[in-house]
Amino acid sequence: MIQSFISLHPIYQAFLAGILTFFVTTLGSAAVFFFKSVRKNIMDSMLSISAGIMLAASYFSLLSPAIMMAEKLKFVVWFVVLIGFVSGALSLFVGDKILSLFAKNSKKNISKFRRCIMLFSSITLHNIPEGLVLGVAFGSIPFSSDKTSIWSAITLTIGIAIQNFPEGSAISLPLRRDGLSRLKSFLFATASGVVEPISAIIGALLVLKVQKILPFVLSFTAGAMIFVTVMELIPESQTNKKKGLMALFLVSGFSLMMVLEIILG
């Protein structure tokens, strides 16, 4: 089965990876049918591990290859990587500010429907760069100098999938608490993950069609990923009373990704 996947075209690989992460979001969303709430310690632990994986992936799977490819293409390496990295972070920063502005203007008389839209929009916005990251990871495989980058992309997919489970629950359970039916809460949460396979295809297409933008795109997605990790995953996990333990889970996630990258790469 793995060999069949490896032999697929990168666009199909990216799409299937996006489908997997979407499926895990759906599993997390389904928690609303079985639980009134999910234990905070479990959700925070998963978020911490995912944060570590994402941080490691940002360097080993994105920034490091971006630097090597920029050198190969004889670009001004530090400039291309810097511009891409900062642009990725700034794009999400601006998006977050726009979303916060809408939320601020609605605080005076916010309805349950508006709260649902805000929650749905924030997670959906978060999922777009994740899908792009997957697309870039698989789309850049044909241009890689080694044949182990496929395993790096698969590991990255697993890391994103892990964090998608608590994300699905983080939408469906609060919506249920706000009075929506279990089915509507589930559908809202599930829909937030639809953008991932779509974004994955877009990311793969961009990389495959225009190879020269690859160093920029890799750096861009690294910046976006680190911004999301620092802005959302780490702060959320650190609301746990056991902050030190959550930090160790983050280190464990980073170590896992680092070791896999070194062994496979």
Q: What pTM does this model have?
A: 0.68
Tell me the per-residue pLDDT of 10-57, one tens digit each, with 9 for 90 and over.
899 999 999 999 999 999 899 889 876 667 787 788 778 878 877 887
* 77, 200 contact by CB (below 8 A): no
Q: How many angstroms separate the CA atoms of 1 and 9, rounded?
A: 15
CA distances from 44 to 107, 128, 163, 243 (A): 27, 22, 10, 10
Q: Which two tokens stand for residue 22?
A: 């979407």
Q: Which two tokens stand for residue 73?
A: 């293409």
Residues 6+ apart with CB under 8 A from 130: 21, 160, 196, 199, 225, 228
Q: How many angstroms separate the CA atoms of 200 and 15, rounded?
A: 6
Tell me the per-residue pLDDT of 107-135, one tens digit each, with 9 for 90 and over.
544 455 555 665 576 667 667 777 887 89
Tell me the per-residue pLDDT of 39-51, one tens digit each, with 9 for 90 and over.
778 778 877 887 8
**b vs e for 57-66, b when ≥16 Cβ sit within 10 Å of the residue's Cβ?**
bbbbbbbebb
